[in-house]
Structures are given as C-alpha cells and as structure tokens.
Amino acid sequence: MIPATLSYRRASSVDEALGMLAEHGEDAKLLAGGHSLLPLMKLRLAAPEVVVDIGRIEELRYVRTEGDVVAIGAMTRHHDLHTDGVAGREVPLVAHVAGEVGDPQVRHRGTIGGSLAHGDPAADLPAAVLACDATLVARGPDGAREIPAAEFFAGLFTTALGPDEILTEIRVPRAADRGWGFEKFTRRRFDWSIVGVAVLGGSPTQPAVGLVNMGEAPIRATAVERALAAGATPAEAAEHAAEGTSPPDEPHASAGYRRHLATVLTARALERAAGGSPAGL
C-alpha cells in the first residue's frame, strides 16, 4: 500500500517530458491520471525510480474536429471526453465508453492516453478505439508517428509505444451517422468489465466489433465481422464472438463463461447498433 521510494518530476510540455524520458531512460515511467500506475506501485508490482508526470500538460487536453476525424488529446480525462459535445456528436461510441469507465473519481482522473498506453485487455476504451479504426499519434525523439489502432495493442500490458515515446493524440474517424452499441458486463455498476463488446454499426461498411477482456490484448472480433460480411444475421454472426480468443480464466469468471458472455453481449451490441433495444439486464 506504500510505493517504493521514487523521484517525481513534472513536465509542462511534451518536449520537456521527452527530455526527461531521454535523461532517465528505462528507469522512468510516465504518469498520466495515475489510476492504473499508482495501484501497481502501491502493491509494489511496479517500482519506477523516476515518475514523469505528464497529467498536467495542457497542450494534450482537447477534443476537436479536424477534417473527417475527431482529434482527442491523450491527457483528456474520461469525464471530459464523456461530456464533450463534439465527441458526443461525432464519435458517440468513444464518448459513451469513456462514461462507462470505473466510477466518477476514476473518470475525473484517468485519461484516454493512459488507458490506451497501459495496454490492459480489461480496459474499455481500447475496444472502442479498435472498433472505430482510430489512429494513435506518438511522439518520440525522432518526431511524431501514426499507429493504426489495429497495430497498437501488442499483448498483455504491451503496446507499440517505445519507452522513449509519448502517446499524444487519438484520431477517431467521425461517425455521427453510424449506429453503435456498447455492452459492458459487470457484477457491480462501477466494476471493470468481465467482458465488454463495442460495436460501431453498419453503413458505409460492415459493423466493427471490439472486445474487452477476451484475450491478452484488446482485440477485434474478426470472426464476427467476417460472418457479417458473408451475410450472416447479427444473431448468427454473434455466435462467432469467442472464436480465436483466449479470455482469462478466473474463479469468478472462467474462460468458458467469458466465451459465452462474448456471444450474448455481441448479439446485444449488434442489435443496439442497428437501433434495437435488446432484452437483458
């Protein structure tokens, strides 16, 4: 409950933060909202020697339209994203999912950048960002680069980011005219997902389906998407939701139960994205 000794440095710009990362190398860890990192540090599962606080970098807190995408600054807090007018109108799935994260305290501290960079397969926003085919922008010593969401999540708590890079922006294609559905299955209202399913609905292309907590990394339900493309009904396609997944196997939620949930929740999310309101609690 008490982290190991550490030094704390606060950056006021991305450049300054990059400088600090370069200076401390592998010993440093970025701190955004702290709601994933600090619990690990308190349990002493993480013990960075230097913490570089980027949570107050104002230049990374924004939501704005840029052509056909909505650009979201990485340090935008879940609450701000959830209540943002532009996000709610143009990328409603992402705005909605931000409002389903944890509880109000968590949403007022946690950031979308931290949530994505953490690479936690149980996190909600990665599934939404995957379903939306967003692009992630990272800055490093050699400048900025763009990473498609589909290539960003590499495995359990690992992403395409290098240790000297900072995730700065999430670019989400505008989707005001597309239906969407998000099913988050929890025991208590504010819990982490046992399983979650994010769907960005039909036209102009087929629905895209992102899964929460169904593998080592946040993933797309590609088998469902393929079935839909091949003409299956949403209900038929949803039966494929667990194909190729390797969900965690835990006492309160076995892998088998999670596979079952994935199919039920995918059917519901697809129905919701198509404008329906599925029965269920």
Partner 1 sequence: MSMMGTRVVRTEDHKLITVGGSYVDDLREPDLDGAVHAMFVRSPVAHARVTAIDSREAARAPGVVAVLTAADLDLDPPGGDHAEPWLAGDAVRYVGQPVALVLTERRYQLADAAELVDVDYDPLPAVIDLDDALAGTTLLFPGTDSNVAKTHGKPFDESAFDGCEVVVTRRIVNQRVAPAPLEVRGAACAWGADGRLTMWLSTQNPQLARDAIAGGLGLDPTAMRLIAPDVGGGFGAKIGADPDPVVLGWAARHVGRPVRWSETRSENLTAMTHGRGQQQTITIGGSRDGTVRAFGLDVVQDGGAYPRLGTTLLPGMTTLMATGTYRIPRVEAYSRSVLTTTTPTAAYRGAGRPEATAAIERAMDLFATEIGMDPAEVRRRNLIGPDEFPYQTPTGATYDTGEYAAALDRVLAAADYDGLRAEQTRRRAAGDPVVLGLGLASYVEITAGDAGGESGRMTVEPDGSVTAWTGSSPHGQGHATSFAMVLADQLGIPMERITVRHGDTDEVAKAVGTFGSRSLQLGGSAMRQAGDEVIEKARQLAAEAVEASVDDIELNTDDGAWQVRGAPSGAISWAQLAARAGDGALSADVWYSDAKPTFPFGAHLAVVEVDTGTGKVVLRRLIAVDDAGPVVNPLAFEGQRHGGLAQGAAQALLEEMTYDADGNPTTGTLADYEFISATELPDFELLDMATPTTLNPLGVKGIGEAATIGSTPAVQNAVVDALSHLGVRHVDMPAGPQRVWQAISDANRRV
CA-based nearest residue to 202, from 103, 272, 268? 272
Residue 39 Cα to chain centre, angstroms: 18
Measure the CA–CA gap between 234 and 114, rounded to whole angstroms.
Answer: 33
**Of 25, 162, 275, 280, the one binding partner 1 by CB under 8 A:** 280
**Of 5, 142, 143, 177, the one binding partner 1 by CB under 8 A:** 5
DSSP 47-100: --SEEEE-TT-GGG--EEEETTEEEEETT-BHHHHHH-HHHHHHSHHHHHHHTT
* Nearest distance from C-beta of residue 111 to ligand FAD, angstroms: 4
Q: Give Dmax over CA atoms of the chain in angstroms.
A: 58
Query: Residue 31 interacts with ligand FAD (CB under 6 A)?
Result: yes
Give whichever of 98 and 194 is closer to partner 1, judged by the CB atom. 194
Q: Which stretches of the chain are DSSP H helices?
A: 14-24, 37-42, 78-83, 85-90, 92-98, 104-109, 112-118, 125-131, 149-152, 222-229, 234-238, 255-273
Query: Residue 252 interacts with partner 1 (CB under 8 A)?
Result: yes
Segment near ligand FAD (CB under 6 A), from 31-39, 197-205, 230-238, 264-272? 31-39
Mapping DSSP to helix (H, G, I), strand (E, B) and coil, where does residue 166 land? strand
**Of 148, 154, 190, 229, the one binding partner 1 by CB under 8 A:** 190
Q: Which of residues 74-113 bind ligand FAD (CB under 6 A)?
A: 74, 101-102, 106, 109-111, 113
Give whichever of 39 and 276 is closer to ligand FAD, judged by the CB atom. 39
**Of 21, 33, 63, 96, the one binding ligand FAD by CB under 6 A:** 33
Query: Residue 217 interacts with partner 1 (CB under 8 A)?
Result: no
Segment near ligand FAD (CB under 6 A), from 30-38, 129-137, 244-252, 259-267? 30-38
Query: Residue 264 interacts with partner 1 (CB under 8 A)?
Result: yes
Q: Which of residues 46-65 bind ligand FAD (CB under 6 A)?
A: 54
User: Of all helices (H) and strands (E), which one includes residue 220?
Assistant: strand 219-220
Query: Residue 188 interacts with partner 1 (CB under 8 A)?
Result: yes
Size of the site for ligand FAD (CB under 6 A): 30
Whether the Cβ atoms of residue 145 and residue 152 lie closer than 8 Å to each other: no
Measure the CA–CA gap between 24 and 22, rounded to whole angstroms.
Answer: 6
CA-based nearest residue to 181, from 280, 263, 281, 271? 271
Q: Indicate which of partner 1, ligand FAD, none lies near residue 62 (CB less than 5 to 8 Å, by partner kind).
A: none
Which residues are within 8 A (CB) of 159 and not within 5 positions of it... i.e. 6 or more apart?
116, 117, 119, 152, 153
Positions touching ligand FAD (CB under 6 A) are 29-37, 39, 54, 74, 101-102, 106, 109-111, 113-115, 117-118, 123-125, 161, 166-167, 192
Positions touching partner 1 (CB under 8 A) are 1-2, 4-5, 39, 43-44, 185, 187-192, 194, 251-254, 257, 260-261, 264-265, 279-281
